[in-house]
Structure 1
Amino acid sequence: MYKVLIVDDEHFIRERLVTMIPWGEYDLEVAGVAEDGASALELIEQLSPDIVISDIRMPDMTGLDMIARAAARKPDIRYIILSAYGEFDYARRALQLGVTDYLLKPTRPEELLQVLLKQADYLAQLQVQKQRVRRNQYYEESIRSQYIQELILGNHPGYEWQEECANVGLEWMLKGELRLFLVTLEGHATIDKSAQFAVQNVLYELLSEYEAVCAIRLSFGKWLLTTGGSAVEEELLSMAQRLYESIERFTKQKVHIMVSEAGQSPLELSRLFWETEKMMEYMGESQEEPIRFLRPSSRELAYLQWTKPMAELIEWMKGGETEQVVRWLNHLTPSFLEWELGAARRWCFEWLTTIREHIQTGEENVLPDTENLKMRIAGQNKIKDLLQFFIHDIHHLIHQRHRKGSHRLIRLALERMEIQYDRDIQLTTVAEELSISPVYLSELFKQQTGVTFRAHLLQVRMAAALRLLKDPTLKVYEVSYKVGYNKVEHFVKLFKKEYGMTPSEYRGALV
């Protein structure tokens, strides 16, 4: 329904215009009438009409003057001029102001209706065009957000990543310094969804004024802003204060903002995010300082040094110094159990990915399966289970690193699993083919790999399932058959136990 405002200083003409057309039949409604330009401007501000029908000659302010002032505030309104004056000067000025139709009084109903329908068609096309633009913008923003999320997770963007970064509209990340704003809604664990959406709307509306900014929602009540350029700290503080004050003014909610140190490359985003999030958790929410910068003060530096002994841990693991590793894990445990589960998952992924790349448990130059690791970490739904997973993986990597060469029989068993995981592979049949007893194969396999025969086969099949589920043409039951499970219900149960979600839920998360 398009809203129409009628403006004329003669009462009987206003009444005639209101009654001469069956407005509702044509998806139109008379939202208001005004007798002069000043009243019309007030109604335009209040009603935001789609179409204005106005006389030219009115007391105090002409229709053209009224249109000129209104167009500066409401540029999308369509204007139709009705006048008893047919002079060319009026028509010429009306065209300059964007008036699309100029009709002379007295106007016949069918003539006015034809003009109104033309305006309605234009408005409908304009609305479709705006929706298309919004969809494209949303799609482009989603691509940019996904790109930054992958960088935050530590996933290298691959070959010619600078060109790809520019192609998705993030060329500003390649110039100047990068900063992260970690925005946390105060009391987000107890606030309802409507409050979160209100804060997010204000946040995104304000950020639309900035060019070199991309925002992503991390979790309920938590957002991350990536900013670029060469802004000095005063400008960053001003931006953070605007965010804080606008959110408080329009939503009555408070947020806490932690600004990261400066980074010089998009490849540093993972480190910046990890440090900023850990520092936010370490320092906690502060009513006195809702906006803080991550600076290397003595207290913070000590904390960061304690939480980042990754280089030492890698050296201990490479050197087989198991006692040092166990001592460090015991020291880590109390603090780990106090972490928020989502943050701990990201921490585990960051550390295990980096450690695996440096330890090189498999063939040289083969990167670890990060997708499988990510899903296995996501499947740990309790902080204690996640800690056990982390400890077990560390010990498994040490074992893999320092075993005295893979036994020939175990290499054959592993090769068969990697190639024939879609078949019915049993410990007894493999042992028979290798001419050894099942008991000996079971013990040797656990000794050489650190896991049982069945557990390793499950990991191989689940990793293959992750790859196959990315193909939208394959049904879940087809994936089940392709990874060696004839009963799809059994496959779904094992997949959910391993990754914390069903195959269909995982596929839905990819969309």
Structure 2
Amino acid sequence: MMYKVITVDDEKLIKRSIHALILKNQTGFELVGEAIDGEDALQLCTDLSPDLVITDIRMPKMNGLSFIQKVKEMNNHTQFIVVSGYDEFEYAQTALRFGVVDFLLKPIKPDQFLASLQKVYHHLETKDKASKERSEWLWNVKVFAEELVSHIWLLEEQHVRTKMEEIHQQLLNKQVEEQTMKRLYTDLITYMKGELKNQTERMSDLPCIDERSLPDKEKNMKDFMVNLCESIINTVKEKRKYGHRKNILTVVSYIEEHFTKENVSLQEVANLVDMSPSYFSMEFKQEMGISFKQFITKKRIEKAKDLLHNPIYKTYEIAEAIGYGDYPHFTKTFKKCTGLTPTQYRKRIGL
């Protein structure tokens, strides 16, 4: 990856030397702009968002330290190397406090300059990798939270335990430190709280979910999560007066066996328990927290995501297998539920 760099100096010879060193060596940087003073450079930074700025400390219109401070306020991502014709320790100290990577004296020594570039490049690569990993985890954790809350809402305790085993193993595979693992689990709890709020507005009926209670030790984190999920399940059971709504649970079992049929209808399942469709629909939503249609769709999309992990199935075959005879309708529904088309979902999981 090539990173963008601009130079700020009123000495043409210095800028020419920097340009030549960047061009002649494989530094990982490309020069995208030059400025002679801080005001011009500030506009360049606004327009180009450079990854690195190489700047003089003494410039007309705006001194180098003021310029650095203003750029940092606009874009904290930008890195700086300061060059100066003066060996001024006070300037160097202040520059380093502002997060400047290096302070070099003129005339620029090629070896020192290239070493500074290498230091900045390594820093940018590390930040980009961490940012990418963070982004990937947040996407995964959203999916995990949706699946966990779905199992909680359907009172599937064994599925909760299995899913937590899977999540914890993924974190162990990352070989992250305990502090990082705790932060990742905190992300999961935060997303779960959001998903639970989507399921019901009666959050006061559910246990207090406080991510600050998460243990510091890795070996205790998974058990804490399982216990938290089971506590929520127990509350949901009580809230629904579990055991007194056998008719709805009978229908849930039927749907789980037959949701892949294209024509599973509200009338059909209402007939199973001798209810009118309108009354059944009301009872089902009160019991399960979502409508009959949403429940069917959720089951189908969960199954579709599972099948999409297997590259032998074509997407239209998956649509037919889960009860969507109309392939465009399947694609539209999948994107509405996941934010991605089936093809995009496969790319996201690396297939």
Q: Secondary structure in 1 aligned to 2:198?
A: strand
With normalisation by structure 2, the TM-score equals 0.54
Q: Secondary structure in 1 aligned to 2:10?
A: coil
State the Cα RMSD in Å: 4.6
Q: CA deviation at 1:43?
A: 1.0
Alignment match, 1:214:
194
Alignment match, 1:50:
51
Q: CA deviation at 1:35?
A: 0.6
Going from structure 1 to structure 2, the CA distance change for 1:45 and 1:213 (only over 3 Å counts) comes to farther
Task: Specify the code of the residue in structure 2 equivalent to 1:123.
Answer: L
Alignment match, 1:108:
109
Q: CA deviation at 1:145?
A: 2.4
Alignment match, 1:345:
none
Does residue 1:377 correspond to 2:349, yes or no? Answer: no
Alignment match, 1:83:
84
Going from structure 1 to structure 2, the CA distance change for 1:48 and 1:125 (only over 3 Å counts) comes to same
Going from structure 1 to structure 2, the CA distance change for 1:169 and 1:87 (only over 3 Å counts) comes to closer
Q: CA deviation at 1:14?
A: 2.0
Alignment match, 2:31:
30
Q: Which has the larger radius of gyration?
A: 1
Looking at structure 2, the residues matched to 170 and 50 of structure 1 have their Cα atoms a distance apart, in angstroms, of 32
Contact 1:144 1:168 survives alignment (8 Å): no
Contact 2:141 2:188 survives alignment (8 Å): no
How big is each residue's C-alpha offset from its partner over 1:177-215, in whole Å with a ceiling of 9 and x where there is no partner?
xxxxxxxxxxxxxxxxxxxxxxxxxxxxxxxxxx99736
Going from structure 1 to structure 2, the CA distance change for 1:34 and 1:359 (only over 3 Å counts) comes to closer
Counterparts in 2 of 1:61-460, with a 5 A limit?
61-150=62-151, 154-156=153-155, 158=157, 214=194, 226=198, 262-266=202-206, 358=244, 368=250, 370=252, 373-381=255-263, 386-394=265-273
Looking at structure 2, the residues matched to 266 and 157 of structure 1 have their Cα atoms a distance apart, in angstroms, of 17
Looking at structure 2, the residues matched to 85 and 56 of structure 1 have their Cα atoms a distance apart, in angstroms, of 9
Task: Specify the code of the residue in structure 1 equivalent to 2:323.
Answer: G
Looking at structure 2, the residues matched to 156 and 30 of structure 1 have their Cα atoms a distance apart, in angstroms, of 59
Looking at structure 1, the residues matched to 114 and 189 of structure 2 have their Cα atoms a distance apart, in angstroms, of 50
Q: CA deviation at 1:92?
A: 0.8
Going from structure 1 to structure 2, the CA distance change for 1:377 and 1:106 (only over 3 Å counts) comes to same
Q: Secondary structure in 1 aligned to 2:87?
A: coil
Going from structure 1 to structure 2, the CA distance change for 1:60 and 1:212 (only over 3 Å counts) comes to farther
Structure 1: runs of 5 or more not aligned = 173-210, 216-223, 228-259, 268-353, 362-366, 397-469, 471-475, 477-491, 503-507
Q: CA deviation at 1:9?
A: 1.5
Looking at structure 2, the residues matched to 157 and 59 of structure 1 have their Cα atoms a distance apart, in angstroms, of 69
Task: Specify the code of the residue in structure 1 equivalent to 2:10.
Answer: D
How big is each residue's C-alpha offset from its partner over 1:375-400, in whole Å with a ceiling of 9 and x where there is no partner?
5134234xxx514522442359xxxx
Contact 2:5 2:52 survives alignment (8 Å): yes
Alignment match, 2:15:
14
Going from structure 1 to structure 2, the CA distance change for 1:44 and 1:213 (only over 3 Å counts) comes to farther
Going from structure 1 to structure 2, the CA distance change for 1:359 and 1:62 (only over 3 Å counts) comes to closer
Q: Secondary structure in 1 aligned to 2:104?
A: strand
Going from structure 1 to structure 2, the CA distance change for 1:100 and 1:62 (only over 3 Å counts) comes to same
Where relative contact order (Cα < 8 A, 6+ residues apart) is larger, the structure is: 2
Contact 2:4 2:29 survives alignment (8 Å): yes
How big is each residue's C-alpha offset from its partner over 1:268-294, in whole Å with a ceiling of 9 and x where there is no partner?
xxxxxxxxxxxxxxxxxxxxxxxxxxx
Looking at structure 2, the residues matched to 47 and 225 of structure 1 have their Cα atoms a distance apart, in angstroms, of 41
Q: Secondary structure in 1 aligned to 2:103?
A: strand
How big is each residue's C-alpha offset from its partner over 1:73-116, in whole Å with a ceiling of 9 and x where there is no partner?
21121110111111111111111111111111111333312211
Contact 1:23 1:30 survives alignment (8 Å): no
Looking at structure 2, the residues matched to 380 and 80 of structure 1 have their Cα atoms a distance apart, in angstroms, of 64
Identity across the alignment (%): 28
Contact 1:23 1:29 survives alignment (8 Å): no
Task: Specify the code of the residue in structure 2 equivalent to 1:265.
Answer: D
Q: Secondary structure in 1 aligned to 2:194?
A: strand
Looking at structure 2, the residues matched to 75 and 38 of structure 1 have their Cα atoms a distance apart, in angstroms, of 18
Contact 2:55 2:82 survives alignment (8 Å): yes
Q: CA deviation at 1:63?
A: 1.0
How big is each residue's C-alpha offset from its partner over 1:424-467, in whole Å with a ceiling of 9 and x where there is no partner?
xxxxxxxxxxxxxxxxxxxxxxxxxxxxxxxxxxxxxxxxxxxx
Contact 1:5 1:32 survives alignment (8 Å): yes
Task: Specify the code of the residue in structure 1 equivalent to 2:272.
Answer: D
Looking at structure 2, the residues matched to 103 and 131 of structure 1 have their Cα atoms a distance apart, in angstroms, of 32
Contact 2:5 2:29 survives alignment (8 Å): yes
Contact 1:51 1:78 survives alignment (8 Å): yes
Contact 2:101 2:116 survives alignment (8 Å): no
Going from structure 1 to structure 2, the CA distance change for 1:107 and 1:371 (only over 3 Å counts) comes to farther
Alignment match, 1:402:
none
Looking at structure 1, the residues matched to 157 and 83 of structure 2 have their Cα atoms a distance apart, in angstroms, of 63
Q: Secondary structure in 2 aligned to 1:60?
A: coil
Q: CA deviation at 1:7?
A: 0.4
How big is each residue's C-alpha offset from its partner over 1:2-21, in whole Å with a ceiling of 9 and x where there is no partner?
00010002233223322333
Task: Specify the code of the residue in structure 1 equivalent to 2:18.
Answer: L
Looking at structure 1, the residues matched to 90 and 245 of structure 2 have their Cα atoms a distance apart, in angstroms, of 83
Going from structure 1 to structure 2, the CA distance change for 1:91 and 1:214 (only over 3 Å counts) comes to same
Contact 1:144 1:169 survives alignment (8 Å): no
Q: Secondary structure in 1 aligned to 2:120?
A: helix
Looking at structure 2, the residues matched to 51 and 42 of structure 1 have their Cα atoms a distance apart, in angstroms, of 15
Going from structure 1 to structure 2, the CA distance change for 1:391 and 1:141 (only over 3 Å counts) comes to closer
Does residue 1:500 correspond to 2:319, yes or no? Answer: no
Q: CA deviation at 1:46?
A: 1.2
